[in-house]
Structure formats: C-alpha cells, structure tokens
Structure 1
C-alpha cells in the first residue's frame, strides 16, 4: 500500500465549503483520487463525505476551519497546520488521515493545566513530539471521558498547551490504565467493544497480567521452563509446607501486586524457626516465628484479602550486598515483531530487598552491574547481557503464544544468580516508563518512537 505524509493547512473562513478539500495535484495523481466526486474522509472514528479539488500549486491539503474543528485537529493560533499520514483506498473511496492514537490513562487533573497528568505529563508531552515527527496524532483520555455508544471521546490534546476537546474515537488505543478496577469497569469494557465493532479500533495492552497466569502459561513451553523458578499459587498449608523447607528463601508475591508492594521474603533460621521480611516504603520489616505453622497462621490472615504466589528464592547477584535484577522492555516494532528496546539493571536501595525505583532502587547499565557484582565465575558473566536479551525476547513471544490477549509492550523482570543463570521474576503489561528509561536518553526515547511505529503498523499507516 502506498503511504505518504501530507501537510494540512486551514483555509480562511468562507474560502472552502465544509464538504470540500483542496489537495495538491501530485497527491491526487499519486493516489488516483477521483476529481469532483464525493469520497469519504476518515480521521479515526470521524467520517464525512467530501469533494476533492486538485491544486497544481499546493504541496499538501487545505480544509475549512469548521471541518478542522469537527475533526478536533490539534491546532493553535500559532500553529495553523499539521502533518499527518494519508492513504486512499479506492475499493471504499476512503481518504484516511492518521493514525489517531488514544492513550487511556487512569486520571487527569483539569485544575492543573500545566501538569494535567501528574507525574506522567512529561511522558505524554514526549509522545506528542514523537507523533509530530512520524506524522501521527495522539490524545489522552480517562474512563471519565468515555460516553457509551457515542462516536466521540473527551480527551486532551496538545496545541501549544494542553486542551480538552471532544475527539473522534481513535484508530489505536494504548491501554495504560494502572487500576484493574477501572480496566474491568463496564464503561471501559463497553468502550473497547464498541470501538472495535464500529470503528475497527485496535486496543493493545488490553489487560493486566497476573503472576500465576504468566508462570502457568509458560510452564508448558519446554524452551521457556528453564527460566522459571518453582512457583505455585499459595492455596493451602500443604503448598506452603512443601516450599519453605525446600529452599533457603522463598518469596510470597501478591498475584496482582506491582511496584514491589506486599512482597514477603521467608527465610529458614536455625531449628524450626522462620523469619519473614515484609517490603515497606521505608525498608524491610522483620518478624520471627518459632514454627512454620505459626508463620502460616499470620500469613493466612492476609490471604483473606490477598492472593499470593509462592516462589523459589534465588541467590541473586549483588552489588555492595544489595540484590540486582534487570528490567527488559519488549515491544512490537513497525513490522509487528517483538524486539527488545532496552534492558537496565536495578539495584535495591538500603534496607530493601526489592529493586523497584519506587522502593529506592537505582538504575545502571547492565554491563556495569555485572562487572561490580559477586558472580562466582568469569564464565557466568561472559555473554550475560546477551542471554538476558534472548530470554526476554523468548518470554515475550511465549506470552503472546500462550495468553489470548493483545500486547504491544511488556516489562520483563529477569535475574541472574551467582552462577550466571537467567531467571524470570515477573512480567508487567503496564511497564513504568521510569524503569525503562535508557541511561543515555535523548529528547525522544526509543521506546516512545517504537510505540508509534507499532501503532502505524496496526492502523496501516
């Protein structure tokens, strides 16, 4: 399919009828667009029949201000033109502009127009600039901006500053909701269904991943099973009793947890006693129990409201006696294939046994962390970065093959033990952009550019 970018300018009031657009004659010839006949103009969920007037002196497109307003193009007084990608399908007589990308986020702050999305505002602004460079358009919306059965979404776009507007349903939705409750709400699920059915919208990262779901799915693939520490849903004392004496440490992880919240590390002490370390924002909180059954009694109280995965403890490499793990960002690229965009090492902070940045962890290059670590042999360190990359790619492909949902990016947490073996810790379908920041980032990160390239692939632009 032929593809191109076109600069779209706004004609003065009264210059063009609302059902007419002017298009450079070279574009009309290139796409074989019929002259003087009505065709359908499409921008996301927006549709309108228009006539195309070819112009030999125009190197782009001109549309009327009223039409631009209904399309909700992100234009300001200082910016009277926008560049978008265009294609024409003769079979349906449809001239499409886009892609129009919608990013679904959990909340906005209309009272703070300079930072309407709080801590992720800079990421959103970066995405706007990356879209400009690639001839795409993006807006941001929350579940509160969704109207059932409607063809518009109340969202935010950037036109010199952040503005709210009624936007067409997007071609592509990047689901970055951070709340399972919001994601599973009837309004959001209805919006997904309606957008897919009526506007051929594609939604990616459409659901959260539970830890047990991931491990159970990957266990069936022999090529991936080698990366999996022994792991079970903690459903009874029998499971607990089978795991705790078996390993020096085991971890209890909330099945639906994130950012290291609620993790408990259990260690076997002398005799029959056990120690539980609870991850808290200020550091690890220690409790000692005289017997395993006493410890389980305390845990079982938490199990009334939290489901846990019990996982084999690993002898992770350390830097200055702080455990290190690795966050790989796997993304779909412009041809729909999985690639590894970045891998960074994360070292736990003082008094913490989890490495999340939200818990005081720090980022470093993979090679730097390995060199400083306590790997027991130089052989274990040779090619470790490449083994991490290969494992992350294989796991992303395995998730896609085994779990029936559409993902465009995955945060894959990996570990190296002191012998250099690679292990999977968990997979996150809503990866934090902070944890994936390359350490030599430019103005626009590769991960942001990659997301737009995948959106273009999905939408045919």
Structure 2
C-alpha cells in the first residue's frame, strides 16, 4: 500500500523558491513522481506549477512559507498526498471547509461562540488524521473569486483568505442562511467547477422525511401515522382515531412549538403547548374551538399531525433516544452513539433545550416502565437507526454524512421514528464519555478522507 501521510514543513524563501517543493526520496519512488519536469501541486481549488526536488534519507516535504500561508497551513503540519501520473498532479489534503452560521471576530479566544471547542476538536482531529480544516460563514463567501474568508488555527485563531476546499461540511443552523443566494450559488459552483463534495447540504423537514420513507416496506413499521395538517377535517379524523395526537412544526427544532392534543373525559379536548418555562395547558369544550385557536398559527406555521404513542417513561417523564449515525471511512452508515433523553419535570418533550437529561440506553430502559423486550430494546434501536439512515439516503435526493435520528420505544417494546435531523447539535448528541477527540469528530474527518480520495 502506498504511503500517503506526509509531514509538511514550511521553510523561508531563501531556502526554497515558491515554485518548488522538496520531497523525501521514498515518496518519489513509491508514487513515481518525476523530478525532471514541472508538475501541478493541488490543494483544494488551489493549483500551482512546481518542480520537485528529491531529498535522500528525508521522510517529509518542504514547501515555501508564502505557499503555506496562501492555503492557511501551519509551519509544520501533516497531510495526505497522492500523485496522478495521468494529470501530472500532486495533491495534498483533504482540505475540509466547515460552513458555520456566524463568527465573532471581536472574541479572539471564542470566535465561533458555543461551538468553538467543537471547532478546535476538529482541528486536533485533523492533525491526527492528516487533514486540514478551516471554518467560514456565508459572509465569508465571495461573489467574484474562488476563495473564501475563513478561520484557521495556528497557535491562535486567524482569519485569512483561503482557496475553496475539497470537502464542505454544511453546519449552518438556520434555513434562512442556507437559502441565501450566495450560499446556494457557492454550493452549486464548488460541486460543478471543482468536483468538491458537500455533505449535509440541506435541512430536512418532518413532512418531507415521513413522506419519503412511507413507501419503503422495511421502514413503514417505524413510522407513526403522520400527515401535513391542512384543515379541520384531517385533525378530526386523527383525533377520532387516536387518544392523543401531536402537532409538530414542519420546520421546528429543539422541541419548539409542539402541541399535544388529548381527548378529555367530558367530551372536550386538552391542548398542551411547549414553552421555555414548561408546559402550558388549555381546555377546549370542542375540537372545533381548539382548531379555531390554532388556525391563526397555521397561517405562518405548517404543522405535521402525528399519531400519539404510548411511550415508555421514567416516573411519568417521557423518554426518547437520539442516535447519531455517521458515514465512516468506507462511506457506510454506522452508529456513533445512542443516548436516552428523559423529559424535564415540567415538560412533555425530552430535548435538552427544554430541561431534558441524558443517560445511557441501558440505564433508561432499566428505570423505565417497559416490562417486556428489555434486552432487545438497545439492538432494536440500533437496527432502526441504521435502516432509517439508509432510507433517507435512498429516498431523499441530497448528500448526508451524519444524521441525528430521534427514536422512541412504546410500552410494548416497539421502536418508532420521531424525527430526522440533518444538522445534529454537537451538544445534544455527545456520547457520555470524556475523550480528547470524540468518535463523532474523527468519523467526520474519516468520511471526508473517503469522499476526497485521501
């Protein structure tokens, strides 16, 4: 197998001109890289004609300092390389660009706010894996060049102009930002002109996911009955069929705006609304009056009406499960982690943003009111998460490298899909172990290597 990891050192112009690199003799022999003729050096979208100088008994590469600065490399770093005889191109990489929502240039130690630690973890993971990562926002995308204004870490965070990367991980947390014309144009251009790969390229909404998956015979067993709420007739039909139903904003997240509707003994209905302070309850004499109260919201919010489920709970607090499913170094879906989330005392949703708490699957199942199929539950959750991820890949025309899949277990032990999130929070899915670099971070880097051929 060809050796691809190489230590890259930047040296001054006096030692090496800008259009030359020095490379250990063993790499030249393995990759059959010529020294007698110019070749092309490629880093992401950056191209430069260079001459290669062979160095005996040297296990690395030296490049000029100005070239290193142009692509944001530290004075000493480790990258992967490969050489194409067909195009006479020596490629270094992978160069990974992470598209994030916002930056804070006036906070040099925390330029990305609450996700700064995650970003530094990615930097450290790339150093281990032989990759280079930078971070940029929609404001850093130029309309007129093939460079972006992005952040690199080189003893401190620095903002510089950088060439388009090999891989873009779309971590935008706002649909408004994702739909900006310059973002959409950038994604289109980087894929078409530079054959770059963009993963997690778009948000998913609840209706799109359930509508896409319901035609798959393998997945139908995981799907509670679910429809786009269009009118009173549909709400009445669902409330007649089930003891409770949920109205979920099609584009909602973090448990915001969910309404639980339950029939009461007197023939009326109770609606429970999620709020930041807890659950707000409201009684209605009839379903017509309840629908009238939410009809105003429906002018601005599209709802998915979903079958209510008899889910397991711990001391009357509902429990669900977040599976982080990622593609690995071979491009295959794998379970990175599954954690249990138990709703806070004043809430009927389990999101951490709503006061939920994390525990292991085994611990939550053990404390819950699930009386049968306890041993099988963890394996059923894993199987469901993998099958749903594969279904999303197959039935939704977009590229995803990681998904947060929210699952639930009912009191009979059956697994249900609640939601698929294409921008899983880096706090909400953290495995319950303390490690310098989380497996979720390493897997993202390894998948980037797979996509880019490094």
Q: Say yes or no: TM over 0.5.
A: yes
User: Any conservation in 2 of the 1:113–1:162 contact (CA below 8 Å)?
Assistant: yes
Aligned residue in 2 for 1:41: 41
Q: Is the 8 A contact 1:272 1:292 kept in 2?
A: no
CA positional deviation for 1:248: 1.5
Equivalent residue, structure 1, for 2:204: 209
Counterparts of 2:277 and 2:31, CA distance in 1: 61
1:418 to 411, 424, 429: 411
State the alpha-carbon separation in 2 of the partners of residues 163 and 217 from structure 1: 43
1:24 alignment counterpart: 24
Match in the other structure for 1:60: 60
- Correspondence for 1:4: 4
Alignment of 1:83-102 (within 5 A): 83-102=78-97
* 1: CA distance, partners of 2:216 / 2:54: 57
Matched, 1:50 2:56: no
Shift of residue 285, structure 1, vs aligned partner: 0.7
**Does the aligned pair in 1 maintain the 2:224–2:416 contact within 8 Å?**
yes
Partner of 1:329: 324
**Matched residues in 2 for 1:407 and 1:220: separation?**
20
1:358 aligned partner: 353
Paired residues of 1:245 and 1:268 also in contact (CA < 8 A): no
The separation in 2 between residues aligned to 1:443 and 1:311, in whole angstroms, is: 40
Aligned residue in 2 for 1:345: 340
Deviation (angstroms), 1:72: 2.1
Does 2:380 match 1:387?
A: yes
What CA deviation, in whole Å up to 9, does each residue of 1:187-223 have, x standing for no partner? Answer: 0010011111222110000011110110011110111
3-state SS in 1 of match to 2:139: helix
Tell me, in whole angstroms, the C-alpha distance in 1 between the residues paired with 2:67 and 2:417: 51
1:406 and 2:369 matched: no
Q: Which whole-Å deviations, capped at 9, do the CAs of 1:87-145 have from their partners, x for residues lacking one? A: 10111101000000000011011111101111111111111100100000101100000
Q: 1:190 aligns with which of 164, 167, 185?
A: 185
**What's 1:373 paired with?**
368
1:253 aligns with 2:255: no
Partner of 2:215: 220
Q: Report the Cα offset of residue 17 of structure 1.
A: 1.3
Q: Determine if contact 1:410/1:430 at 8 Å carries over to the other structure.
A: yes
Instruction: Quote the offset at 1:310 in angstroms.
Output: 0.4
Q: Is the 8 A contact 1:176 1:205 kept in 2?
A: yes
Per the alignment, residue 237 of structure 2 pairs with 242
Counterpart secondary structure, 2:373: helix
| Offset, 1:36 | 2.6
CA distance in 1, matches of 2:177, 2:354: 25
The 5 A counterparts of 1:267-346 are: 267-346=262-341
Match of 2:101, SS state, is: coil
8 Å contact from structure 2 (residues 3, 30) kept in 1: no
Matched, 1:124 2:119: yes
Instruction: Using the TM superposition, name which of 179-188 and 64-73 deviates more.
Output: 64-73
**Shift in Å, 1:3:** 4.8
Q: Aligned to 2:296, what secondary structure does the other structure show?
A: helix
Q: Which runs of 4 or more aligned residues in structure 1 lie more than 6 Å from their structure 2 counterparts after TM superposition?
A: none
- Which of 436, 441, 445 is the matching residue for 2:438? 445
Written as runs of structure 1 = structure 2, the 5 A alignment for 1:160-179 is: 160-179=155-174
Question: Unpaired runs of 5+ in structure 1?
Answer: none
User: Is 2:421 the partner of 1:428?
Assistant: yes
Aligned residues: 454
Q: Say if 1:40 and 1:49, in contact at 8 Å, map to a contact too.
A: yes
- Per-residue deviation, 1:322: 0.5
SS at match of 2:80: strand
Alignment check: 8 A CA contact 2:95 2:165 kept: yes
Instruction: Give 3-state SS (helix, strand or coil) of 1:84's partner.
Output: strand
Structure 2 counterpart SS, 1:15: coil
Query: How big is each residue's C-alpha offset from its partner over 1:261-301, in whole Å with a ceiling of 9 and x where there is no partner?
Result: 00001111023311111101110011111100000001111
SS in structure 2 of the partner of residue 223 of structure 1: coil
Cα-to-partner distance string for 1:203-259 (whole Å, 9 max, x where unaligned): 000011110110011110111000011100000111011011221211000000000
Per the TM alignment, residue 149 of structure 1 is displaced from its structure 2 partner at its CA by 3.9
SS at match of 1:381: coil
SS for the counterpart of 1:303 is helix
* 416-425 or 194-203, larger mean C-alpha shift: 194-203
Contact kept, 8 Å, 1:24 with 1:58, in 2: the verdict is yes
